[in-house]
Structure 1
Amino acid sequence: MTADDRITLYYSPQTRAAGTRVLLEELGAPYDLEVLNMKAGEQRKPAFLAINPLGKVPTIGHRGQIVTEQVAIFIYLADLFPSAGLTPALDDPMRGPYLRWIAYYGASFEPAVIDHFMKREPAPVTQSPYADYDTMLSALEQQLAKGPYLLGERMTAADILWGIAFNWTMTFGIVPRKDVFTRYAERITQRAAFQRVTAADAEMAAQHAAAAGG
């Protein structure tokens, strides 16, 4: 394995990037962290803005290329390590539903929960990317009720993305703690990979807070 085959994850603890780190752990992928102290504003400095002009994590580097956008990163990484079994193959009938629910996260869920959290008036249903908040959430509830995972009995990278998202948004009261969402999130947060990353994040976040305060 060459240095280019290793994945560089531009990272800050207790952010969306944690989900990508959990996925890398689940995949057994070789990776290195390039840690940014967001409490010190390192994500807004020229060095990182030259890599991702939006100053956002997660961002990954692999084989000389940069990949941004959480949904793209999840698809890319899961496809890169098919032997881990977290992505349906291109000729798998479940490939379409898998892509549907991953894309739904970025296209519908995130804009809806941000509008909801900010108490912004949503666009008219005919112009909104997510119809309306309740409809968007109801579609997820109906799909997860078939469980235990989005694609039934099979866990995929989509479940890591969504399980962590539900855990995070329910913690802050953005998404209601319905039983189906709670049980689903627990299936992911009880896994060893999530527990390892959470413990490491707590230690790293404490170090960043101390450094920023000093």
Structure 2
Amino acid sequence: MRQNPSFAMTDPAELRRVIAASPWAMIVSDADEGLVASHYVVLLDDDADDLTVVGHVGRPDDLIHGLGERELLIVFQGPHGYVSPGWYGDVAAVPTWNYVAVHLSGVPEILSDDENLRVLERMVDVFESGMAHPRGMWELPNDDAFVRRLAAGTVGFRLRPTKVVAKRKLSQNKPDDAVQTVIAELTAAGNNALAEEMRRARDARRSASA
């Protein structure tokens, strides 16, 4: 991802927020047969306070990616959406796409079977917490043998990134009144998540210049 200093995200707390809110990630590696991409849930490691993440892939994706042997790129895509040039008023403008993205790169370590089980259990708990009647991984009718058999079909990993590139392209190069108009238009269109990201970026810019 080409970086632009005006759009760079560098605050670790903000990066963690985006990763936590966008766990459906794309995992990319340069495999023997060429570039390969897979899509999996990836979470922040709850035993770390940095950008370390944990996840899993299903077999044989571990072999395809050379998991633990090759560098991986993990892409977290935050809120995004189309911005019409008409929203900037009667000025020369072109269409664009506003977005937030975080890229983490590095060679992951393979988790032990017990660590992988803990990560899988946490993933289930994270997403079941929003259900009306949460059902944990170990709850009946699942039994120990069933859970462990399914877990054996996955390979867990932990990635401590050696390279981080994060970007929020949110009309920061436009005057405040134009930014406010875009926020209003996105809100009216129902893209509240992107509108909120633009508010955060606007407020951060104001604080930095104060």
TM > 0.5 fold call: no
Which one has the largest radius of gyration?
Answer: 2
Larger strand proportion of the pair? 2
Larger helix proportion of the pair? 1
Shorter-chain TM-score tier: under 0.3
TM-score by length of 1: 0.27
